[in-house]
Structure 1
Amino acid sequence: MKRQLLFSLLAILVTSFALAQQDVTGRVTDARDNSALSGVSVFVKGTRTGTTTNQDGRFHISVPANAVLVFTFTGFSDKEVTVNGSSVDVALEVTQKSLQEVIVTGYALQNKRQSSGSVAKVSGEEIKLQPLGSFDKALQGKVPGLLSQSSTGQPGAAAEVTIRGKGSINGTNTPLYVVDGVQINAADFATINPGDIESYTVLKDASSTSIYGSRGANGVIVITTRKGRPGQTQINYDFQYGWSQLPENRLEVMTSKEKLQYEFYDRPDFGINPFGWSDAQVDSLGKIGSTIEKSLFQKGITQQHQLSASGGNDKTRFYLSGSIFDQQGIVKTTGLRRYTGRVNVENSFGNFKTGINATFGYSRIVGTRENDTYVGSPLNAIRWFNPYLSLYDANGEYQDDYLQNQPNPLRELLENAGHGDQMKGVGNVYIEFNLPWVKGLKLKTLWGADFTSDEAFLYLDRNTDQGSQSTGGNGQVSRSYTKTFRYTGTTSLSYQRTMGAHEITAALFNEIIQAKSDGFNFNGFGLVGPFKNEAGITPGTPDNGYIPTVGGDATQSGLVSYFADATYGYARKYYISAGARRDGSSRLTKDQRWANFGSVGASWIVSEEHFLEGTKGWLSSLKLKASYGSVGSQGIGNFTSRELLSSTVYNGVGGLVLTNLQRSLTWERKLMINTGIEFTLWNGRVGGTVEYYNNKTKDLFLDRQLSRTSGFTSITNNLGKLQNTGIELSLNAVVVRTRDFLWEVDGNFTHNKNKLLDQNGMNENISGYFINKVGEPINSIYLVKYAGVDPATGDALYYIKDGKSTTNVYDPANRVLLGTVDPPFYGGFSNTFNYKGLELNTLFSYAYGHWLYNNDRVQVENPIYWYSNLSKNMLREWQNPGDITDVPSAFNDFRQETSRFVEKGDFLRLRNVMVSYTFQKNLMDRWKIKSLRVFAQAQNLYVWHNFQSYDPEAVGGGLAGAQYPQLRTFTMGINVGL
């Protein structure tokens, strides 16, 4: 009887439960274009019951009555829907700067909620319209921890980018750049169209970069190109036109009147008025204005055209584009011209997905001689050329006389010629297979290639100064070719599944990278006839001395890797991740070729806890995260660890000599700790991050001094330790949002502290004007401190090492550390104002706390060069006892190895200002177009600084001379969508 009663009760309970359950079906789509979203997690709130959508975005789930379904998908905002029937269709919205934002690691997509790493993302829309030949310059001020420095304004030249400080001394500090899974070099950016880029994702800590192993030590910048979306084909055309001009120079040089005044100062060996000017000549010449800038520089025209088409359906999507970018430099003859094309196609059929992403480009860069002290360079002549002289004689020919034995810079610029051509192709093909036997299991293989062909050409006319310095003294033609091919093959098996409160993502990878490069160069001499190429070369003989030189090189390297990555999440609140990678590099000797790297991380979505339920009105999300791991660097030459032989000639007999010793080099290894907080407030209206990092590099590549009896002066070994610690802050906020008006702000700040911990037991290593000292930042300036001028004698005064007493005797033993050349503080901030489609955007970047050695001043404040133009500062030169000045007498020994020429590098740059107007939709419908936007912008509009030159943004801390100023560019344009 009891058994029958028990079975009856169980039957009633089961029946009640079955009646309470109901089957629900539906479809999940992208709210932008109504395309299906596959792989969306659908679960019953408060339970472990869940499922995912199929390839068509459809799902089926059994739920209790009045249940709430939660829909989550990477890159889209979560959505909750109360079940009120048997069918539920949902459209998900793309997220912006929230925990749902998608992160592209280069190998996979990841939801920001799940990530424990330090990752920043920049939209391609923020950069594509900036008139820059190299897109890495546009990242300045946008990403905390990322420092982008440009010491040249040459169109097409790449910036120097570092992430979280410099972690190597002799190795590379350049981050890894990956485009759609294929590695590229920073030197090739001039051939890539920024308009094709969807997003830039910057990976900064071990949790996010360790998957790249030996390539991720300096951070990773993952570049994702644009893809098509289902729907009607969208055609877009972008055009802009403008000009660039020379910015202000804070290093002022003398006018004609001032220079003539200075020539009447007394000086050693030449006395007063060494050219013997008469009063009438002084009066006449003093009225002449300088024409050097007008003669050598120009207002450079910039124009850009971009045309793209994208579209597709649920199965096939495509993106096609072509572009032309033409930017003249501000130095005559210089500039960049670029042509690019791109094809991105992906197709889904059954359980398979295939795709191809390919870009092709051609660029020509015409530069000028820079970063040296050659007097014929226009970048030096603008300061050094005497303002009362003319570049032409009375007959309109190049002036050769009366130039104080200096070359005519206009002739050097216009009669000599040179350019660099590059053809580049980057692409990949891939295939994915979703295994039907195990839900969430996917197999993918991707093969990519990066091909580059570089040609450099130089013509030195026989009538120019540079041509006269070539072999035989009658001009030169040089040409070189370099071809580089790198292929990457990556195969992965990944698993992603949500089972109730449990989220599992795991993947195994194998990767092969091989690079090959070969080059050839030729130099011919003795030019005759009108030819400006190899046709004018005189055949070389022992008698005429025009023996041509020919050379070449070839190199090859490879990297094989095995790695794994996994993330586990529980209750959408607790996440742990781990990764491991084993790399083998051909650059290292066999006993050190293989190395292991890895990371662990954890994150906690605190805002999902019940004890914070009362904060939901203002605290939208709060995440704590931490990670630890190791990455490595093989940033040395392909043959640095090998024994090398080179050809030589001795006493007329050829032979081979040893030029490098084999040594057991191992990897530079970086141990990285990162902790951080991410938050959003008031439903995403305010958001930000606070992060602390501690990166320690050991086994630094350093040069160890050898006994000269070995035949070598030094050898590279793994000898030192270096540390970077820092704090990063970022904040974004919607200050005002009404129906018609929007004001958004975005800012970031970084403080990086660099410290050398060990260098093979040596306390300090001095190189020129710089020192690497244990306990101090690397690249610190090390000079005698300048104390001014003795009013009685005009002698320069220098501080004794104790910093208290002074002497007029220069002694290098009194050198002291003056400060680092690398900015310890940097960042940026932006504002966006929008009123009924009229928008104003501003971007500022800044850096401070560092010092620079101003070699430009050395060249124009040295009295030995009195016959050239000089800085206005020299008008303060000491002349008589009692003069109070900071410029010593011309009779005093000139010493440039002092702090007299060291200046603060602090600056605040107005990087970009854009005003645009987007026409209203009702007008677009009337005109039968989809979108129309007009804009005007200014690039590098103004820099606030006290550095005496064009710009304090200098890589390496010192100006070698002939600095090509950064371009100040103004453009206007239009964007049309059809």
Structure 2
Amino acid sequence: MKKIPLLIVMIIACCSFALAQQVVTGKVTDANGTPLAGVSVSVKSGKRGTTTGPDGTFRISAPSGAVLVFTNVGYTDKEVSVANGSGNIILEQSARSLQEVIVTGYGTQNKKQVTGSISKISGDEIKMQPLGSFDKALQGKIPGLLSQSQSGQPGSPAVVTIRGQGSINGSTDPLYIIDGVQVNAGDFATINPGDIESFTVLKDASSTAIYGSRGANGVIVITTKRGISGKTRIDYDFQYGYSELPTDRLKLMTSAEKLQYEFYDRPDYGPNPFGWTPAEVDSLSKLNYHIKDILFRKGITQQHQISASGGNDKTHFYLSGSLFDQQGVVITTGLKRYTGRINIDNSFGNFKVGLNTTFGYSRLIGTRENDQYIGSPLNAIRWYNPYINLYDADGKYQIDYLQGQPNPLQELLENHGNSDEIKGVGSAFIEYNIPWVNGLRARTMWGGDLSEEESFQYLDRTTDQGSQSQGGNGEVDRAYAKTFRYVGTTSISFQRTIGDHEINASIYNEIIQRKIENFGFSGFGLVGPFKNEAGITPGTATNGYIPTVTGSATNSGLVSYFVDGIYGYKRKYYLNAGARRDGSSRLSKDQRWANFGHIGANWIMSEENFLQGTKNWLNALKLKASYGSSANQGVGDFETRELFGPTVYNGTGGLVLTNLARTLTWERKVEFNTGVEFTMFKGRFGGTVEVYRNITKDLFLDRQLSRTSGFQSITNNLGKLQNEGIEVSLNGDVIRTRDFTWSLEANYTFNKNKLLDQNGQPDNINGIFINRVGGRINSFYVVRYAGVDPQNGDALYYKKDGKTTTNVYDPDDRVIIGPSDPPQFGGFSSSWNYKGIGLDVLFSYAIGGYAYNNDRLNVENPIYWFSNIAESMLREWQKPGDITDIPSPFNDLHAETTRFIEKTNYLRLRNVMLSYSLPASILNKIKFRSVRVFAQGQNLYVWHHFQGYDPEVVTGVLGGSVYPQLKTVTFGLNVGF
């Protein structure tokens, strides 16, 4: 009898346990809906587990509220809460899988089939970075791709090169394709990065030759998001933060130091040049106006995006809208962007149709930079004396004691301008699966890119810029630009697997047309309170206010025919080949057509029988090689034609020859690439190593002409250039448990360019740069600075032998110092995640580049003593015996030396993000699909020795202060329903 109560308790407990269990069934597929067999399904923190069957279905018992973990080699692990008795699970492919699908722009390839050099990153990796132009987010992520910020102004694009500069005078920009339509990098400020699904970078001829002459500098294929079958998903993303200038390593004098320098260290200008009393000098020396705090601010950034996506077996849709508002750190500057997107496709019968379209509006308010003008705020904080207030005692703009310098605050507040752009990019397609031939498909896609831009500038008559306008009394400028490009691509393709044989072949025809129209107007002599065209004085022959009107219209076309094919045998041997014929209106009539081709092969060694014993640690091993040709037509639309332009002589108008007719053919590029790809330890470690050599022939170079021709030079096809290098990309999961993951990624690129020929000339010297046959292009060519003679304060220079020194500057002692572009660059990242808490860190680096620091020259130049100058000038030589590196102010300044050339090596903390995602157990209770909060920082710190804000300089020469990359901190929220 005593055992009966115990038995009852055990029965109740067992019943309770049984009631707490439930049978979960479902199906696991990839993003395309293909069932996945052999997927491991387990209960998190439990012992139960199963695998999916051939059709992707599974069945498992799990406690109510438990979390199921789905894992499969080549796919990213996924955790799903047990909310009901069944469910459909979609696994995303891992970047290390050879089963990954690669979008090439004209179609897709399985990563196994790829014989060329292709890199891919997810759009989610960059969508929340607070950047006005998303190409800057590629920095440090892709081997072979060098992304350099030419300006930190809101909306400014990066300068991107792939595998070095393949041209000297022609275009070096890669081709950007969004959903099959070509776009320009300058328009990225109107495109929402949150709509991007992936970036695919095509780097060798096997990958780019299908784009013919457009793909000579590499191709970046951007695929936007699509809806997937299932319940409609609503996503909202928000972030808010601020930006500020980074640390300035070019130190300037304080008020006391500057007054000491003016009064006592520069006796050549005489004591007390401004006639101030000792009391006034003492009072001024205690002032240190931080002009940076007046002209600059913490720029607020906010971003909102909402999207809806979904679909069924026949129709898929994705809709989005976004707002991006970024204040510039310079007062009055900023960027606002509004975008919308509609992507939809539908299948019916043997047909599939689709529409991808985006539209955007942006307003950019910028400021002057990279010139010598003191009114530029970045120059002003360099040159402006720290003891001078921007306002006088009456609260008006200070104009006394400025020594001819304009008041930068007045220039910013009284002058204003903006640039408004409306942009639309769209494409529509129709596909037909021909029923009577299995695997045969016809497709046509037509798309367009339309941009309309209006810019306005007002220069007040009271400002320095206004006084420099025609007539010296203010100016209003307004300009319009309209660009329209359309593309039509029609193809017939055949794709089929017959036993051990895979066949994928396509034939294409493509038509591209581009038209650009510009109109500009400038009016002068502003009167009254009006800050637009209403204040313009009508021009007459006597008052000097004759307005100017400009305009132009240009168009170009490209017609192409091409074929491409892939053959695979036993899923381990692949051959890819293709050919293309392009005809361009830009080149001479007898040189307009050109042929290109490519061939590539790969071998999946890991599928061979002799490597089957390594399957427990070597999951995939692929060897590949490719060879092909492409070309560059990157010249102006009318470069080959004889052109005339207006002129005036003695008051009489006329026409003069402005461009000589010439024969120009394509810059032709031949490329070779070989590499190895591998995946190890059940997908936990993988990588790629590639070696390439590219040779560009018939370079666009300038040939000097006789002065009697009226022209200095003419562009012809005259040279040959080589780029060769190595790329390494590694990634791996250091720790991968159910609660904690830690992954690392790193990439490295070394690129060496060498000029092989330039019309028989060994050297081509342009200022402080040289292009020498056998050497790198755009190398600095100057005399080496050797310091200061302690006896007389003269600057010393090394002779050409590098051993002896002299105080006589001799241009014949010039030597090559190094290239302006870094030959070595890359990035590395680390990602941690513990129970929904994530920390992601990205570094980028560059090694081996040089820049001429003209910023430093301006503040270390003794003739500019009346402006603020560098703190280093306190070390200026004063008397015999002084040991210093700053020569006497009476010494002739020869700027074309290594004194102002600096290395641009850097290590940048590019991005840090700390995030927390709510667990599934909480999400089910609050009826949300996902919730994540995060904080992130951009450019938080840069390790470098460059004397300035940022060593990342595109041109190699600083003409003036450049808007640096900003330090940015934001906080955000991602919510999914």
Q: Above 0.5 in TM-score?
A: yes
Contact 2:74 2:98 in 1 (8 A): no
Secondary structure of 1:473's partner?
Answer: coil
Q: Distance in 2 between matches of 1:306 and 1:367?
A: 25
Secondary structure of 2:280's partner?
Answer: helix
Q: State the one-letter code of the partner of 2:92.
A: V
State the 1:295 CA deviation. Answer: 1.0
**Residue of structure 1 in register with 2:148 after alignment:** 149
**Residue of structure 1 in register with 2:49 after alignment:** none
Q: State the one-letter code of the partner of 1:720.
A: G
State the 1:32 CA deviation. Answer: 6.0
Q: How does 1:489-638 map to 2 (within 5 A)?
A: 489-638=488-637
Secondary structure of 1:804's partner?
Answer: coil
Q: State the one-letter code of the partner of 1:946.
A: H
Q: Distance in 2 between matches of 1:257 and 1:766?
A: 44
**Residue of structure 2 in register with 1:919 after alignment:** 918
Contact 2:150 2:157 in 1 (8 A): no
Secondary structure of 1:472's partner?
Answer: coil
State the 1:265 CA deviation. Answer: 3.8
**Residue of structure 1 in register with 2:882 after alignment:** 883
Distance 1:260-1:268 versus aligned 2 partners, 3 A rule: closer
Contact 2:37 2:55 in 1 (8 A): no
Give the total of aligned pairs: 913
Q: Distance in 2 between matches of 1:775 and 1:472?
A: 52
Computed over aligned residues only, the root mean square deviation of the Cα atoms, in angstroms, reads: 2.0
Residue 232 in 1 paired to residue 231 in 2? Answer: yes
Contact 1:41 1:498 in 2 (8 A): no
Contact 2:495 2:503 in 1 (8 A): yes
State the 1:921 CA deviation. Answer: 1.0
Q: Distance in 1 between matches of 2:606 and 2:409?
A: 67
State the 1:814 CA deviation. Answer: 1.3
State the 1:36 CA deviation. Answer: 4.3
**Residue of structure 1 in register with 2:391 after alignment:** 392
Q: Which runs of 5+ in 2 are unaligned?
A: 1-25, 39-53, 57-72, 77-86
State the 1:281 CA deviation. Answer: 2.5
**Residue of structure 1 in register with 2:94 after alignment:** 96
Q: Distance in 1 between matches of 2:397 and 2:873?
A: 30
Q: How does 1:674-753 map to 2 (within 5 A)?
A: 674-753=673-752
**Residue of structure 2 in register with 1:473 after alignment:** 472
Deviations 1:452-511 (A, max 9, x none): 001111100000010011011110000000001000000000010011111000000000
**Residue of structure 2 in register with 1:963 after alignment:** 962
Q: Distance in 1 between matches of 2:389 and 2:579?
A: 67
Distance 1:76-1:312 versus aligned 2 partners, 3 A rule: farther
State the 1:641 CA deviation. Answer: 1.0
**Residue of structure 1 in register with 2:641 after alignment:** 642
Distance 1:504-1:761 versus aligned 2 partners, 3 A rule: same
Distance 1:363-1:300 versus aligned 2 partners, 3 A rule: same
Q: State the one-letter code of the partner of 1:816.
A: V
Q: Distance in 2 between matches of 1:480 and 1:604?
A: 56
Q: State the one-letter code of the partner of 2:547.
A: P
State the 1:291 CA deviation. Answer: 2.4
Deviations 1:226-257 (A, max 9, x none): 00001111000001000001111010111111
Contact 1:370 1:963 in 2 (8 A): yes
Deviations 1:164-210 (A, max 9, x none): 00010000110000000000000000000000000000000010000
Distance 1:583-1:41 versus aligned 2 partners, 3 A rule: farther
Q: Distance in 2 between matches of 1:448 and 1:644?
A: 32
State the 1:376 CA deviation. Answer: 1.4
Q: State the one-letter code of the partner of 1:469.
A: Q
State the 1:642 CA deviation. Answer: 1.1
State the 1:383 CA deviation. Answer: 1.0
Could you tell which deviates more after superposition, 668-677 or 96-105? Answer: 96-105
State the 1:661 CA deviation. Answer: 1.4
**Residue of structure 2 in register with 1:249 after alignment:** 248
**Residue of structure 1 in register with 2:872 after alignment:** 873
Contact 2:730 2:745 in 1 (8 A): yes
Q: Distance in 2 between matches of 1:430 and 1:929?
A: 35
Q: Distance in 1 between matches of 2:622 and 2:420?
A: 49
Residue 320 in 1 paired to residue 337 in 2? Answer: no
State the 1:850 CA deviation. Answer: 1.4
Deviations 1:666-687 (A, max 9, x none): 0001100000000000011000
Distance 1:94-1:376 versus aligned 2 partners, 3 A rule: closer
Deviations 1:14-57 (A, max 9, x none): xxxxxxxxxxxxxx976268x7449x999xxxxxxxxxxxxxx9
Could you tell which deviates more after superposition, 725-734 or 93-102? Answer: 93-102
Contact 1:268 1:891 in 2 (8 A): no
Q: State the one-letter code of the partner of 2:29.
A: A
Secondary structure of 1:798's partner?
Answer: strand
Q: State the one-letter code of the partner of 1:972.
A: F
Q: Distance in 1 between matches of 2:33 and 2:457?
A: 56
Deviations 1:597-640 (A, max 9, x none): 01000000000000011111100000000000001110000011
Residue 346 in 1 paired to residue 345 in 2? Answer: yes
State the 1:402 CA deviation. Answer: 2.0
State the 1:587 CA deviation. Answer: 0.1
Secondary structure of 1:189's partner?
Answer: helix
**Residue of structure 1 in register with 2:84 after alignment:** none
Contact 1:369 1:962 in 2 (8 A): no
**Residue of structure 1 in register with 2:780 after alignment:** 781
Secondary structure of 1:688's partner?
Answer: strand
**Residue of structure 2 in register with 1:383 after alignment:** 382
Deviations 1:385-426 (A, max 9, x none): 000110001121111112222111000011000111110000
**Residue of structure 2 in register with 1:456 after alignment:** 455
Deviations 1:327-381 (A, max 9, x none): 0011001111000000000000010000000000000110001110101111101
**Residue of structure 2 in register with 1:70 after alignment:** none
Q: Distance in 2 between matches of 1:367 and 1:339?
A: 18
Q: State the one-letter code of the partner of 2:94.
A: Q
Contact 1:937 1:970 in 2 (8 A): yes
Contact 2:629 2:669 in 1 (8 A): yes
Q: Distance in 2 between matches of 1:608 and 1:850?
A: 43
State the 1:275 CA deviation. Answer: 2.7
State the 1:92 CA deviation. Answer: 7.7
Contact 1:76 1:92 in 2 (8 A): no
**Residue of structure 1 in register with 2:8 after alignment:** none
**Residue of structure 2 in register with 1:4 after alignment:** none
Secondary structure of 2:279's partner?
Answer: helix
State the 1:268 CA deviation. Answer: 6.9
Q: State the one-letter code of the partner of 1:215.
A: R
**Residue of structure 1 in register with 2:434 after alignment:** 435
Could you tell which deviates more after superposition, 264-273 or 385-394? Answer: 264-273
- TM-score normalised to the size of structure 2? 0.92
State the 1:101 CA deviation. Answer: 1.1
Q: Distance in 2 between matches of 1:273 and 1:812?
A: 38
Contact 1:147 1:163 in 2 (8 A): yes
Secondary structure of 1:113's partner?
Answer: helix
**Residue of structure 1 in register with 2:303 after alignment:** 304
Could you tell which deviates more after superposition, 277-286 or 216-225? Answer: 277-286
Contact 1:599 1:629 in 2 (8 A): yes
The percentage of aligned residue pairs carrying the same residue is 68
Contact 1:247 1:965 in 2 (8 A): yes
Contact 1:690 1:727 in 2 (8 A): yes
Q: Distance in 2 between matches of 1:233 and 1:574?
A: 41
**Residue of structure 1 in register with 2:935 after alignment:** 936
Q: State the one-letter code of the partner of 1:468.
A: S
Secondary structure of 2:858's partner?
Answer: helix
State the 1:802 CA deviation. Answer: 1.4
Q: Distance in 2 between matches of 1:481 and 1:269?
A: 52
Secondary structure of 2:113's partner?
Answer: coil
**Residue of structure 1 in register with 2:29 after alignment:** 31
Distance 1:307-1:740 versus aligned 2 partners, 3 A rule: same
**Residue of structure 1 in register with 2:657 after alignment:** 658
State the 1:266 CA deviation. Answer: 4.3
Q: Distance in 2 between matches of 1:151 and 1:277?
A: 43
State the 1:280 CA deviation. Answer: 2.4
Deviations 1:568-611 (A, max 9, x none): 00000000010100000000111000000010000000000000
Could you tell which deviates more after superposition, 798-807 or 349-358? Answer: 798-807
**Residue of structure 2 in register with 1:895 after alignment:** 894
